[in-house]
Chain A
Amino acid sequence: MRLNKLLLLAVAALPLPACTGAGGEGYGYGGYSLVRVREVRVGDNSLAVTPPREWNRISARLFRDIRDVEDWTQNGPYLDGISFVTGLKDGKAVVVQRSRDDRQVPKFRSNMTAPEIAAMIESLYRVRGGAVDFNMTSLAPRQFLGANGFQFDFEHLDSDEVRRRGRAVGAVVDGQLYLILYDAARSHYFNAYLPDFESIVTSARRV
């Protein structure tokens, strides 16, 4: 998950990895590799999407992601990013966390309704992203991967005093969570890459 606070921690704690390897393409260094304009598999490889232009994949090691999550960005994680949650199973959280952390991102449950998943995302931003203010701006039904999913729109003010906007489109398929989450600085960046996000969501298919 592409969260500012997390990025700071990860950068401080880990040496920068070289080429990500798993991504295969390009010769990214510093934890980034190029995503070409063609269908690519993301996360645990159970989801394929086609971006309308080139994006940058952020190394999972840089963000200490779980295996089912993958992050992309255009201008760096402080400004914009797309995260893919692929086939997240019951009882797992979308981030790496220790059972003894005081504050925790709620675990995903197979029987969660969209408002519960939205609340889970809100806690993700509050607990791990340092969001001080977080508001849902819309939650509406939306077809995703051929399932009855949802679209969740939100705005948040983070501890770096930047206001950001986000949109998540997701569905629970066979008891597992599939979600594509877009989050960017509210001024300029959000609108600039929203069409890319929409095009990626439309292109998504399970493989």
Chain B
Amino acid sequence: MSPVMTRRALLGAGAGLAAVTTTGVAEARILPRDMVPLIGPGYRAVDQDEKGMWQLMERVEEEVSGSNLLIKDAQLTSYLGTLIGNVGGPAAKDMRIYLARIPEFNAVMFPTGFTIIFSGLLLRMRNEAQLAGVIAHESAHFLRKHQIRQWRDMRRKTDIFSFLAMGAGVAGGVAGVYAGDLVQLAQLGTILTLLKYNRTLEAEADAMGVRLLAEAGYDPMAMSETWEQLIAELDLSAKYRRKRRHRDFSLFETHPSPESRMADLKISAAEVKVPGRSYDPYRDRYLAALSNIRPTMLDDQVKLNDPGASQYIVNTLAKDGWNGLLRFYEGEIWRLRNSQKQDDEDRAALGYAAAVAYPDAPPDAWRWHGIMLLKKGRTVEARAAFARYLQLAPDAPDAPFVRQMMVG
């Protein structure tokens, strides 16, 4: 995914693409077996224009690697490095991965082979195969030299205006990253970012990603599952705000819908599976690697008060079993939405009550359980819940206030 475009430039580029792509004709699916890497180990920019792009990107990487938004947990970053090693093909040793604490469902590959994974993406993946699928897709962009191909393609096909817009985008994008605006980068949105490449390049990355995934022993079906989750989440988020899904889709009408892309991914996945070989989603390994950070990531998401998206994520994670943490955040979703018409406070109270029944309920669940009881006038039970909270978190920053609620 080329990061080098501001949203404004992106729209310009999109319009340019729309003008040159033939309308409505379904293209043949790109076959995974045709997807061979175009670069080998230790690849460096060859041509003049590519060298220029690399120079800019090296400066960007310097900025990114020093950002205080990065999660620097050594165990987690080495885990992500292992995944690149698994699905990075011939460039596995050359690629770098950065994890940013930004609650957005996104990942970005830069032309020089470094990638930024946003914590919101990690939160949404149910297993290692899904995450490896995203990384494989990103690797494929690098292995197939998509950034420079897209750049040249644009220059050839589009009129001078969109070419200029894209040039402005390069400068703007780099300046944006220099200003430390990783958040803006993340918020371009997965769909929008994916659509930055033309459909052929995206289809290539999908096909090659599926292949890299299967070759590494992961269940290649994981990639279409990720898309399915993304689509369903956007739908539910929009529904809760009483509107239609992300209107960004309509900007790129000539592009395949996410649904058709998902269908292609499924067919390709079936194609690359070798009979008799076993493929694993590696769920346990994934959960173990994320165990320290998952509560924080869930917290970052739920507190954005986007109830549809958050509920979808909680329910998706709960497919692998409910626990105290997920029940607690279910309560948090309704508490923050606080619609009186829909009795959100009662629903929140139920969530907290359910959470504290689990042994792994976070201390916060006991505090909120107590507050809900207090508001219902059940002071004796509330006091017991607060006492439990203070017992689990004696140094909690709000302990003074909770103690007052116990006596008041």
Contact = CB atoms under 8 A, between A and B. Distances in A.
Contacts of A161: 67-69, 180
Interface in B175-198: 179-184
Interface residues of A, number: 41
B397 A159 contact: no
B281 to A, nearest CB: 30
A90 to B, nearest CB: 9
A114 interface: yes
B69 A102 contact: no
A153 B179 CA distance: 28
| List of 3 A-B pairs having minimum Cβ-Cβ separation, nearest first | A159-B183, A139-B398, A140-B400
A45 interface: no
A105 B308 CA distance: 15
Given A122-B303, A138-B398, A161-B69, 19 more contacts: A102-B238, A102-B241, A104-B305, A104-B306, A113-B371, A113-B405, A115-B368, A119-B335, A127-B304, A132-B102, A138-B397, A138-B400, A139-B401, A141-B400, A157-B68, A159-B69, A159-B182, A160-B179, A161-B180
Contacts of A141: 400-401, 404
Interface string A82-112: 0000000001000000011111111101010
B243 A100 contact: yes
A106 B303 CA distance: 10
A126 interface: yes
A187 interface: no
Q: Which of B181, B304, B397 has the most CB of A within 10 A?
A: B397
Contacts of B402: 115
B237 interface: yes
A105 B69 CA distance: 23
A123 interface: yes
- For B305, B309, B337, the residue with the greatest tally of chain A CB atoms inside 10 Å of its CB is B305
A25 interface: no
A106 B336 contact: yes
B277 interface: no
Interface residues on B, range: 35 or more
Nearest to B234: A102
B351 to A, nearest CB: 15
B319 interface: no
Given A107-B338, A127-B305, A138-B398, A159 B242 contact: no
B69 A132 contact: yes
Contacts, number: 99
B374 interface: yes
A116 B237 contact: no
A169 to B, nearest CB: 13
A41 to B, nearest CB: 30
Contact of B374 (A113, A123, A135): A113
26 contacts: A101-B241, A102-B241, A105-B305, A106-B337, A106-B338, A107-B338, A113-B374, A115-B371, A115-B398, A115-B402, A119-B303, A119-B336, A132-B183, A135-B397, A136-B397, A137-B397, A138-B397, A138-B400, A139-B398, A139-B400, A141-B400, A141-B404, A159-B69, A159-B102, A159-B183, A160-B179
B370 to A, nearest CB: 10
B273 interface: no
A144 interface: no
Nearest to B243: A100
Contact of B304 (A103, A116, A148): A103
Interface string A123-136: 10011001011111
Contacts of A139: 397-398, 400-401
A123 B305 contact: yes
Nearest to B183: A159
Contacts of B368: 115
Contacts of B303: 119, 122-123, 126, 134
B180 A114 contact: no
A104 B401 CA distance: 26
A127 B67 CA distance: 21
A192 to B, nearest CB: 22
A179 B300 CA distance: 25
A145 to B, nearest CB: 18
